[in-house]
Amino acid sequence: MIEPFETRPHDVLVLGAGGAGLRAAIAAKDAGADVGLVCKSLLGKAHTVMAEGGIASSLANVDPQDGWQVHFADTMRGGKNLNNWHMVELFAKEAPERVYELEYWGAVFDRTPEGKIMQRAFGGHTYRRLCHVGDRTGLELIRTLQERVVALGIPVYMEVTATTLFTDGDRVAGAFGYFRKDGRFVLFPAKAIVLATGGWGKLYKYTSMSWESTGDGAALAYRAGALLQDMEMVQFHPTGMLWPPGVRGLLVTEGVRGEGGILKNSKGERFMERIDPVRKDLATRDVVARAIATEVAEGRGSPHGGVFLDISHRGADFIKRKLPNMYDQFESLANVDITKEPMEVYPTNHYTMGGVRVDAETGSSTLDGLFAAGEVACGLHGANRLGGNSLSDLLVFGKRAGDAAASFAKQRAAATVPEAAVADEQRRVCEPFSREDGENPFTLHRELQETMQQNVGIFRVESELRTALNDILTLQRRAKNVRASGSQIYNPGWHACFDVQNMLTLAEAIVRSAIERKESRGGHWRTDYPKPDPEYGGKNLVATRKDGAMRISTLPIPRMPTELAALVVEKT
């Protein structure tokens, strides 16, 4: 029997209302499409609000030598050339326009003495490039786009869990889910869908990411037939909070180092001078994270097993003005006054470079009508993302995906969602309530986090990756028998059933890809293969679904045109 459900058809359906989703919805609306925007939380709460440091964009307001070519080269070098170079090219060229557009819509950036948008230094960026608002840039971005979406009258479906994507032949046909508030089911038939569902940091025990980051979109896309790429590339941000345990993993913005903060070990040594004499504390994130983990492993760690990050020499006034959230966060949660004493930090899971394989210009996935932008998509960041590139990613490729989805929808007739498929999905989604005895989804999630943290961290080795894979496959079997109690009304236990299934799918892709990439590159460091291997450097790993099982294969990276290649001369 089919329970009643709402039907909300749109030309373009955008899943996710962080920066990429909001920007995509605005673009599709501007292009004349009928757009619906779905978010898992309330509007304006998505993980984008947590971005602190800034938006990387070569405005050249502070360093006039900057330009798209340098931004391009920095991003390629930071990503160890695993990036989709065409994406990087479009990104570096279009980021300035996207930032100015944001200002025109009401964003209020910090200013230079001449009244232009202020830019700060960040890891891996040759010039001061990050447009910012103190240490709350993500909030400014999301609020500005949110206000724009409201002004355009785009319908927003808040607190909706999407459980599946429907296909019609070889194209996407719609999405299904329920309103968390009351458990009402809802079908969104759509000609085109833009995935903007963010990353999956909640796979790890210590993460800077918010509740929503369970990778629903990537898992749904994979199940619907799209390819996942570079899944082994996981970013650990060098500086997460470490103490007290209740706050472990919370982000300490790279802006602290951008504004002059210095890393020291227990001997008072500025160890980054030894590791990267040129960039020092502002080396790329993969390098700094490994250096911190090494200091601790070799016995030069702080009392709680991290290193010290000190900005107190910049003075209280400066710190409170440029890093107000950091000041407040440490004062209220850790009883540390960062204007007087150093912070204790340790790397924390922060970003997933991998995701849905997309076309550079349109954000189109390998499934017809399905587009992806932002963290859920893959290609821009290669093996390691530079700080600040994520926010400009959201804007540049959110717009591109929204434009392309609108034009796709204009050219196509509506797809059909078979009634039987809806009935099957409803049954599947309700199953956890019908089990008398079953697994607790929160327990499965905790066990997944333990094995990922333990075995798939900054340093990896085949034997540990195999252990993780076994654990994940066992958890996947147990997750088939996951149980919920109570009613469908705002029931976190029920929601967690689908979150954990999605996370287990992505965990398998990460580990299988990590086993397959027998080299060290960017965010993927193998102690059993500690060097980069040029052969692996020439290809992306992709995960596909074949007869219900996951397969990892390789796709060659196309050769970079000579004029772009000339920009990327490796610095020594």
What residues are labeled active site? Answer: 237, 257
Smallest separation (angstroms) from another protein to the CB of 248: 8
Question: In terms of CB distance, is 314 or 545 closer to another protein?
Answer: 314
User: Is position 41 an interface residue for another protein (rule: CB under 8 A)?
Assistant: yes
Question: In terms of CB distance, is 348 or 384 closer to another protein?
Answer: 348
Tell me the residue length of the chain.
572
**Contact yes or no for 132/188 (Cβ under 8 A):** no
Please state whether beta strands 10-15 and 35-38 pair in parallel, antiparallel, or not at all (unpaired): parallel
Which range binds another protein by CB under 8 A, 306-314, 423-431, 442-450, 564-572? Answer: 442-450
Question: In terms of CB distance, is 108 or 555 closer to another protein?
Answer: 108
Question: In terms of CB distance, is 240 or 457 closer to another protein?
Answer: 240
Distant-in-sequence, close-in-space partners of 12: CB < 8 Å, separation ≥ 6: 25, 28, 33, 34, 35, 36, 190, 191, 192, 193, 194, 402, 405, 406, 409
Smallest separation (angstroms) from another protein to the CB of 45: 4
Smallest separation (angstroms) from another protein to the CB of 333: 6
Smallest separation (angstroms) from another protein to the CB of 228: 25
User: Is position 250 an interface residue for another protein (rule: CB under 8 A)?
Assistant: yes
What secondary structure letter does DSSP report for 115?
S
User: Is position 334 an interface residue for another protein (rule: CB under 8 A)?
Assistant: yes
How far is 109 from 139, CA to CA, in rounded Å? 11
Residues 484-513 that bind another protein (CB under 8 A): 484-487, 489-494, 496
How far is 193 from 373, CA to CA, in rounded Å? 11
Question: In terms of CB distance, is 186 or 415 closer to another protein?
Answer: 186
Which range binds another protein by CB under 8 A, 35-43, 80-88, 288-296, 523-531? Answer: 35-43
**Which one of residues 86, 93, 247, 431 is an interface residue with another protein (CB under 8 A)?**
247
Smallest separation (angstroms) from another protein to the CB of 44: 6
Question: In terms of CB distance, is 235 or 384 closer to another protein?
Answer: 235
Whole-angstrom CA distances from 263 to 13, 236, 266 are 45, 16, 10
How far is 540 from 532, CA to CA, in rounded Å? 14
User: Is position 246 an interface residue for another protein (rule: CB under 8 A)?
Assistant: yes
Q: Can you read off the two tokens belonging to residue 343? A: 């912070």
Question: In terms of CB distance, is 189 or 249 closer to another protein?
Answer: 249
**Contact yes or no for 197/15 (Cβ under 8 A):** yes
**Which one of residues 2, 6, 7, 111 is an interface residue with another protein (CB under 8 A)?**
111
Closest CA to 146 of 95, 105, 94, 103: 105
User: Is position 435 an interface residue for another protein (rule: CB under 8 A)?
Assistant: no
Q: Can you read off the two tokens belonging to residue 296? A: 């601790």
Smallest separation (angstroms) from another protein to the CB of 99: 9
Per-residue x/- track, 133-152, another protein (CB under 8 A): xx-x-xxx--x---xx-xx-
The owner of tokens 């785009």 is 154
Smallest separation (angstroms) from another protein to the CB of 267: 26
Helix (H) / strand (E) containing 550: strand 549-556
Question: In terms of CB distance, is 149 or 386 closer to another protein?
Answer: 149
**Which one of residues 3, 7, 155, 181 is an interface residue with another protein (CB under 8 A)?**
181
Q: Can you read off the two tokens belonging to residue 142? A: 């999301």
Each residue of 2-40: b (16+ CB within 10 Å) or e?
Answer: eeebeebebbbbbbbbbbbbbbbbbbbbebebbbbbbbb
Which range binds another protein by CB under 8 A, 29-37, 38-46, 168-176, 269-277? Answer: 38-46
Please count the other Cβ atoms lying within 10 Å of the Cβ belonging to residue 366.
18
Distant-in-sequence, close-in-space partners of 121: CB < 8 Å, separation ≥ 6: 127, 128, 129, 130, 258, 282
**Contact yes or no for 469/508 (Cβ under 8 A):** yes
Closest CA to 222 of 352, 368, 355, 353: 355
How far is 162 from 499, CA to CA, in rounded Å? 10
User: Is position 98 an interface residue for another protein (rule: CB under 8 A)?
Assistant: no
User: Is position 49 an interface residue for another protein (rule: CB under 8 A)?
Assistant: yes
Smallest separation (angstroms) from another protein to the CB of 469: 25
**Which one of residues 5, 34, 67, 116 is an interface residue with another protein (CB under 8 A)?**
116
* Interface with another protein (CB under 8 A): 41-47, 49-50, 100-101, 103-106, 108, 110-111, 113-117, 133-134, 136, 138-140, 143, 147-148, 150-151, 158, 181-182, 210-212, 243-247, 250-251, 325, 328-329, 332-334, 440-443, 446, 484-487, 489-494, 496
